[in-house]
Chains A and B, each alone.
Chain A
Amino acid sequence: MVTTEATVLPDLEPPASRANRTSGANRPGRRSRVLITVARIAIVGFFALPIVFMLVSSLKPDLQIFADLGSWRAFAPVGEVSLDNYAGVFDRVPFWQFLANSVVISGVTVVLGILINSMAAFALARLRWRGRGFVLTLILATLIVPFETLALPLLWWVNKLPSLEANGFSLEFSQGWLNTYHVQIIPFIANAFSVYLFYQYFSSIPRELDEAARVDGAGWFAIYARVVMPLSGPAIATVAILTFLPAWNSYLWPLMVIQSEELRPVMIGLQYFFQLNVSWGQVMAYSSLITVPVVALFIAFQKSFINSIASSGVKG
């Protein structure tokens, strides 16, 4: 196995710098550390305020939410606190159906997106073929086209495409992808930004690994699957999060292509609460419920996500 630079770098570090780190010569004093910690807590608290407001408001009646707005009470579970808004949400919309739809749509989009985009990036970053620079430029150029511009032509196309449907034990062709899960997934698998992220990351992995694998008899797919991808955890995590978020938050496209309630994702579900009399408590309860999976995903991949952003210099 070839030794990478990353594994030898720590040994090249001058002893002096290690000594400095352990001696505490440049370490901030106790007071500074306390101040830094307090500042960090304040910053975290500041950025967490909208989420705290959402969670707290989800426990209050509508009128109290507005009565508390002008004071600290808006961020504290005080007054008439109950889970009534959550009960209202489950009465009003098929929440679990919407959630399951979004989990399937976002999950499949993420998994297939990682697979397809990493393969494309691998071909661009590791294989030698004529025109790959041009193809990469072409892929990146698509980033400047906003989805809103493509939405109507895409709608027209997906309505014309053939669809294979199971009918008992036979398969039948029908026209149009509207009102299906796959119309919410397939158009968003290939993603120029994901290709670019993978391309950048793959380019930083030493080519000597490919050569060593080829000497051992590996083909390109084996190199992709067994050498490059296992070393690309941070890039995979970043692409997973950056693909998941728009898929989870998608609104315009499902609105255009889905009519059946059984197939609607969570963001369309949010609109059910905006009637003539908006039930803000239920809006907050529903928003809290659909935020949980996103926060859980971010926490799960947090380390890899930050590593990848730090190493690629790309901000999502």
Chain B
Amino acid sequence: MSRKIGRIVAASLATLAVAATAGCTSAGSGDSGGGTIELWTHAGGNEAELGVITSMVDDFNASQDDYTVEITDFPQDAYNDAVVAAATSDNLPCIVDIDGPNVANWAWAGYIQPLGLPEETYDGQLAGTLGVVDDEVYAYGFFDVALAMFSRESTLADAGVRVPTVDEPWTGEEFADALAKIDGLNRFDYAVDFGTGGGGEWIPYAYSPLLQSFGGDLIDRSDFQTADGVLNGPEALAWAEWFRGLVDSGYMAQASGEDATADFVNGTSGILYTGNWADTTVREAFDDAVVLPPPDFGDGPKIGAGSWQWGLTTGCDDVDGARAYLEFAHDTKYFVQYGEATGLIPATLDAAAEIPAYAEGGDNRIYLELADQFAVVRPETAAYPYISSVFQKATQDILSGGDAKSILDKAVSDIDRDIQQNGGYEF
């Protein structure tokens, strides 16, 4: 028996060592040759988006002989960590895509540099799709996403509430009335699903616009040096009390399901608050689906802005080549391809006009209008990742029934301390 185990171990060792050695020599690290520009994207696993990127890169490579762009794709949830690790080991590629709210932080950290493209390049581009820091454009995006509410005409009609429009959204009172009436139908587990089971960046992306509609904000945007007065002022307290109040009144789950869209389609909730990425699923499920703007709680309806954008790294050895690619790619043709492939909002009005769903009268036009009229970019400060994490915790504590005043005061104190400790995040 012991001899047998010994032989098995020896054979396994030999086989696996050979396999590993073969792997080491075959894989190796991919050094770029002259004129090769590496491009990293978060679109791994997203066939539609990766297909457009591949198409752009192929077109660029075929259009000239000086440079060759090579794509490396990562899955989205792993992407930011991979970039930070690469920056630590000085292995960043030339071109990276960046989630909008991270642009300022990556610029401050020295990962990316201003794009340096002509100003007119960005004519007609939605403001939320540009990564502007310190008055310089560090990144541009091909698309944006918009927050909206989904419901069914039959639900709203049975409840006896009007269908709000972009021009005439619900006021806070109307929204409260609508929730009470939908709840009164006794048809749903909850009148509304705000996706409270979500975590991470979803929380500031989805809930800080509601805070802003009440008149508060994540930070005082005049100089990005303090959150005092905006994140813990009377408006912010009103937002916190309203949000927790939805749980207390039974209109909303303290922690909704893992997939709010699936729950809505399965009849769990009467109104769904989510992004336009849920559009296809909802419309396929209900013939009478309606897209509603978020309510106006006093300062107008607000939605988040700033999706994935392309930037140029500071360590890039071939800046001219990378700029040539970024300028080449900023073509309406590719904005259209993005919009058609992903169904998301094209970042320029020219591209929107060429996509039937986003053109005047198109089914998705409302998302473009929401993005154009109500979008508020998350604070363009290098402190944002920290602000985001603090706001996530504060929101979850508020939803759990904690004292809103002390939670928000603590959040402000944490944010201000972080800004102070980092020298104001000055460039």
A residues near B (Cβ < 8 Å) are 62-63, 65-67, 69, 92-93, 104, 107-108, 111-112, 114-115, 152, 155-156, 159, 163, 165-166, 174, 176-182, 185, 225-226, 229-231, 233, 236, 252, 255-257, 259-263, 268-269, 271-278, 280
Contacts and interface: CB of A to CB of B under 8 A. Distances in A.
A28 B350 CA distance: 82
B145 A260 contact: no
Give the dominant DSSP class at B's interface.
Answer: helix
17 contacts: A63-B265, A63-B266, A66-B257, A67-B266, A92-B47, A104-B23, A112-B13, A155-B88, A178-B91, A179-B28, A233-B5, A236-B5, A259-B40, A259-B82, A260-B27, A261-B44, A263-B23
Contacts of B73: 261
A91 B89 CA distance: 33
A179 B23 contact: no
Contacts of B34: none
Nearest to A151: B85
B51 interface: no
B85 A108 contact: no
A230 B82 contact: no
Nearest to B6: A230
B76 A260 contact: no
B171 to A, nearest CB: 30
B186 interface: no
A-B CB proximity, top 4 nearest:
A230-B2, A272-B45, A271-B75, A256-B85
A281 B14 CA distance: 39
B86 A274 contact: no
B406 interface: no
Given A104-B19, A179-B30, A111 B89 contact: no
Nearest to A257: B85
B391 to A, nearest CB: 21
B82 A255 contact: yes
A268 B86 contact: no
Contacts of A155: 85, 88-89
A174 B45 contact: no
A261 B266 contact: no
A156 B89 contact: yes
Interface in B6-45: 6, 9, 12-13, 16-17, 19-20, 23-25, 27-31, 40, 44-45
A180 B24 contact: yes
B43 to A, nearest CB: 9
A175 B400 CA distance: 51
B13 A179 contact: no
B78 interface: yes
Contacts of B78: 255, 268, 271
A277 B257 contact: no
B20 to A, nearest CB: 5
B77 to A, nearest CB: 5
Interface stretch (B213-221, B274-282, B367-375): B274-282
B27 A180 contact: yes
Contacts of B23: 104, 180-181, 263
Looking at B23, B40, B77, B261, which has the most chain A CB atoms within 10 Å of its CB? Answer: B23
Give the dominant DSSP class at A's interface.
Answer: helix
B75 A272 contact: yes
Given A63-B262, A92-B45, 15 more contacts: A67-B266, A108-B19, A111-B12, A155-B85, A156-B89, A165-B24, A179-B30, A180-B27, A185-B20, A259-B72, A263-B23, A272-B75, A274-B76, A277-B261, A277-B278
Contact of A260 (B6, B17, B30): B30
Contacts of B31: 174
Interface in B327-360: none
B263 interface: yes
Nearest to A267: B78
Interface string B282-310: 00010000000000000000000000000
Nearest to B265: A63
Nearest to B260: A66
Contacts of B223: none
Contact of A66 (B13, B89, B91, B266): B266
Contacts of A67: 262, 266
Contacts of B285: 63
A65 B262 contact: yes
A103 to B, nearest CB: 9
Contacts of A163: 29
B9 A259 contact: no
Contacts of B9: 111, 114-115, 229, 236
A252 B80 CA distance: 12
Given A107-B16, A159-B91, A272-B45, A181 B27 contact: yes
Contact of A231 (B2, B12, B275): B2
Contacts of A275: 45-46, 76
Contacts of A231: 2
B76 A271 contact: yes
A287 B30 CA distance: 30
Contacts of B75: 268-269, 271-274
Contacts of B76: 271, 274-275
B341 to A, nearest CB: 13
Contact of B259 (A66, A256, A271): A66
Contacts of A263: 23, 27
B307 to A, nearest CB: 10
B299 to A, nearest CB: 28
Contacts of A269: 75
A165 B259 contact: no
Contacts of B12: 107, 111
Nearest to A179: B29
B65 interface: no
Given A66-B263, A165-B25, A256 B81 contact: yes
Contacts of B89: 155-156, 159, 176, 178
